Amino acid sequence: MPKIKELECSRCKTAVSAETPQTLCPKCAGSLYVRYDLGTAKGLTKREQIARDGEAGGWAGMWRYRSVLPEVKPVTLGEGWTPLLRSKRYPNVVVKEEGANPTGSFKARGLALAVTMAKHYGLEKLAVPSAGNAAGALAAYAAAAGIEANIFMPKDVPFANYVEARMYGAKVTLVDGLISDCGRIVAERKEKEGWFDISTLKEPFRIEGKKTMGYELVEQLGWEYPDAVFYPTGGGVGFIGMWKAFAELEELGWVKPGKKPKMIAVQSSGCAPMVRAFEEHATTSKMWERAATFAAGLRVPKPYGDYIMLEILQASGGVALAFPDEVILASLLDWAKNEGIFLSPEGAAATAAYDNLLKTGFLNPSDRVVLFNTGAGLKYTDVTAQAAGIQRMN
Ligand SMILES: Cc1ncc(COP(=O)(O)O)c(C=O)c1O
Ligand SMILES: [Zn+2]
């Protein structure tokens, strides 16, 4: 594992030491990236070592990439190295099944690393505003690490998210509002309560954990980029993390430098601040009023890392697009019935987006595509049953 060289601001490039816990850039409040001296990990021999060590050395899951993760003892529940499922109908489409993670979502990756670092730093109390799945993941990893978790989430989150957070022993507050309201409460109370705030993009290690999705999909495709990556976008941690991974992969010489994948940000028409900002050629997003969608993870009315995502959309030749909940639900049912995959509503936004971009000609059937199912459909039975009109007879 490499030593962290520094934390670098995504906006003004100011360097900050990682010796003590950090949140945002002290100069401009931009999100911080973890930077290493990657010299010792460079080259194909080091790349080949990943699979060998992974199998033999007990470095399972996302920790197979420990040569590009901080030098710390992991708090792990077996996160990462999720399957790539080939579509039965579209030969060039694979689904990255993130529902296979502990707590049933990709949030496990970012929170495994954030909690690992919190333990390393000796932090005792963490706090997070959450659209749902981050809450469950934080609660689990905090329990595993013996750290207190303070969670604030909208009162209408999928029930599973509330139950799991409670079961893991977190201190849970349900808020009559959105994740932005939850974030405000954490910000107001954290100093007095002695909480360390691990909100999306307000500390550097959730991006760092989620970057492993980028490493994995490239390795699982034979160390080659796909043509496009579809990502259901709320706060955008994975979107940003994967783009960081692609830059690192090129620096390491683990992938042929060249055409990186088109990054496709997918939202719901009920909360689409990134789509609006992209269409207006803006450099930041505006708060989305009255955000509402059954894809709970996409209900982020003003992503903190909007400026980074807009840069990535531009640089990758990607696009941001949104669909009404009815279209997302139709795609969810389509994939369940025809592929045997029970997507989360967020994942179904990605499959709906794929259908759309084939129709518009933005993509061809021959393009190699990765669709992210960011969470297990089974975490949403209350929400999807209601949306699909399924009721149990008494
Ligand atoms: C299942 C699911 N998909 C997507 C998202 C959005 O994730 P991100 O914040 O990385 O954009 C979330 C966030 O809560 C989620 O739970
Ligand atoms: Zn800065």
* Pocket flag, ligand 1, residue 303 (CB < 6 Å): no
CA-closest candidate to residue 384, choices 312, 339, 321, 335: 335
Which position has the token pair 């993760």? Answer: 69
Residue 125 contacts residue 170 (beta carbons within 8 Å): no
Q: Which ligand is nearest to the CA of 328?
A: 1
Query: What does the pLDDT read at residue 208?
Result: 98
Q: Whose CA is nearest to atom 2 of ligand 1?
A: 297
| Choice from 82, 106, 304 to test ligand 1 binding pocket (greatest atom count within 8 A of CB) | 106
Residue 101 above 70 pLDDT?
A: yes
Query: What does the pLDDT read at residue 348?
Result: 98
pLDDT band for position 166 (50/70/90)? very high
For the CA of 235, the closest atom of ligand 1 is: 9
Query: What does the pLDDT read at residue 179?
Result: 92
For the CA of 344, the closest atom of ligand 1 is: 1
Tell me how far apart the alpha carbons of residues 344 and 336 are, in angstroms, rounded to a whole number: 10
pLDDT band for position 1 (50/70/90)? low
Q: Tell me the per-residue pLDDT of 241-297, one tens digit each, with 9 for 90 and over.
A: 999 999 999 999 999 998 999 999 999 999 999 999 999 999 999 999 999 999 999
Which position has the token pair 């941690």? Answer: 237
Q: Whose CA is nearest to atom 13 of ligand 1?
A: 297
| Residue 248, both tokens | 């690192």
Query: What does the pLDDT read at residue 393?
Result: 80
**What is the 218 CA–ligand 1 centroid distance (Å)?**
21
For the CA of 98, the closest atom of ligand 1 is: 1
Mean pLDDT score, 345-353: 98
Backbone angles phi, psi at 391, to 5 degrees: -130, 150
For the CA of 346, the closest atom of ligand 1 is: 3
* Pocket flag, ligand 1, residue 32 (CB < 6 Å): no
Q: Which ligand is nearest to the CA of 128?
A: 1
Q: Whose CA is nearest to atom 15 of ligand 1?
A: 297
Q: Which ligand is nearest to the CA of 29?
A: 2
Residue 340 above 70 pLDDT?
A: yes
* Pocket flag, ligand 1, residue 295 (CB < 6 Å): no
* Pocket flag, ligand 1, residue 237 (CB < 6 Å): yes
| Choice from 96, 105, 151 to test ligand 1 binding pocket (greatest atom count within 8 A of CB) | 105
Q: Whose CA is nearest to atom 12 of ligand 1?
A: 297
Residues β-bridged to residue 153: 174
Tell me how far apart the alpha carbons of residues 329 and 348 are, in angstroms, rounded to a whole number: 7
**What is the 143 CA–ligand 2 centroid distance (Å)?**
33
What's the Cα-to-Cα distance from 247 to each of 190, 214, 250, rounded to whole Å?
34, 10, 5
pLDDT band for position 55 (50/70/90)? low
* Pocket flag, ligand 1, residue 233 (CB < 6 Å): yes
Query: What does the pLDDT read at residue 59?
Result: 75
For the CA of 236, the closest atom of ligand 1 is: 11
DSSP letter at 91?
A: T
* Pocket flag, ligand 1, residue 200 (CB < 6 Å): yes
Q: Tell me the per-residue pLDDT of 107-159, one tens digit each, with 9 for 90 and over.
A: 999 999 999 999 999 999 999 999 999 999 999 999 999 999 999 999 999 99
Query: What does the pLDDT read at residue 52?
Result: 84
| Residue 192, both tokens | 């007095």
For the CA of 134, the closest atom of ligand 1 is: 14
Residue 90 above 90 pLDDT?
A: yes
Mean pLDDT score, 356-373: 98
Helix (H, G, I), strand (E, B) or coil at 183: helix
Q: Taking each helix axis from N to C terminus, what angle separates 381-388 and 345-360, rounded to the nearest 10 degrees?
A: 50
Mean pLDDT score, 374-378: 98
Tell me how far apart the alpha carbons of residues 49 and 164 are, in angstroms, rounded to a whole number: 37
Percent of the chain with pLDDT over 70: 98
For the CA of 345, the closest atom of ligand 1 is: 1
**What is the 33 CA–ligand 2 centroid distance (Å)?**
11
Query: What does the pLDDT read at residue 51?
Result: 84
Count of CA atoms in the C-beta half-sphere (13 A) of 253: 10
